[in-house]
Amino acid sequence: MQQLLFFLLAAYASLTWSACRQHELTKPEQVKLNGDAVMIVVHQSATYDARFSTKRGVDEAVKFAKGRKIPVIYLQDETPDEYYFMADCHPDYWVFSAGGEISFDVAPAHLYIVGGHLELCMSAALHDIILQWSKRPPQNRTITYFMDAIYSNGKLIEPTDAYYRDFTRFMDIVTYGRPGGEHWPKLSLLETMGIIIREDHEFEYIKKILPRWDRTFPDSYRVEVQVNDSVRKVLRPASGWKPPTILFHFVNSALSLSSPPPAPNY
């Protein structure tokens, strides 16, 4: 009986996993986004995040989106299907994107960005999206980064940064004994913040990793940055009583937004 149960469970797991391998890609012109928000998951593959530093983060992010009826789009490149490690194999769309480029229309005003190489494919996706937004009628827009679901190689951390030695020490530890090359040296954006620690240093680092909003949005847009629930910092003011505002919002995890409020202490 136990052997039969084990066989059935193994068969079910195999079928569940194979569903991710058998999905169909959607043509860009068939992607329809009608709501106010969208989540885009960029190349969530063990080819690039081989130590699964963002595994829990991306799974919680997708769960967060689906729980709020926010459409979810997975971007896939030439990486073999079996290296994509999302637990949920059923987004609203799978779309091919070789380098993070966005070939479909992104009209929603709130983008949740998940997965992807912070400095490469995710950066390409964000640049394409803000370029689209800049050509639309002005309105408030938000990009929310779930930091535990974004991987990075720390290439924008420089030897002159106060936290550079802590960064190299961390990377030496998590890559110890592993094969060389680009597969292993990755950490999550949240881990990077844990290395940096100081709020003023975090703010300077965040400014370096943002897409080039200064070359994209006209001066009529106000640009702000916020980390979790901290006070918003203004990167660029704009004239007028209520100018259209671009907010780059960095959140530790989707769990930070999913958790119920604490019980009152009477």
The b-or-e profile of 44-55 (16+ CB within 10 A means b, else e) is bbbebbbbebbb
CB-facing half-sphere around the CA of 2: CA atoms within 13 A: 0
pLDDT at 182 (0 to 100): 67
Question: Helix, strand or coil for residue 236?
Answer: strand
For 29-69, the DSSP string reads GG----SSEEEEEE--BTTT-TT-TTHHHHHHHHHHHHHTT
Using CA atoms of 248, 251, 253, 257 in order, give the dihedral in degrees to the nearest 10.
Answer: -100
pLDDT at 80 (0 to 100): 84
Backbone angles phi, psi at 169, to 5 degrees: -65, -45
pLDDT at 67 (0 to 100): 94
Nearest CA to 96 out of 31, 150, 145 is that of 31
Q: 75 and 99 in contact (C-beta within 8 Å)?
A: no
pLDDT at 7 (0 to 100): 46
Q: Which residues of the chain have pLDDT under 50?
A: 4-19, 261-266
Output the pTM of the full model.
0.88
Q: 100 and 116 in contact (C-beta within 8 Å)?
A: yes
User: What does the DSSP 8-state code read for residue 160?
Assistant: T
| CA distances (Å), origin 78, targets 82, 84, 130, 145 | 11, 11, 25, 25
Cα 2 to its chain centre, rounded Å, is 41
pLDDT at 179 (0 to 100): 73
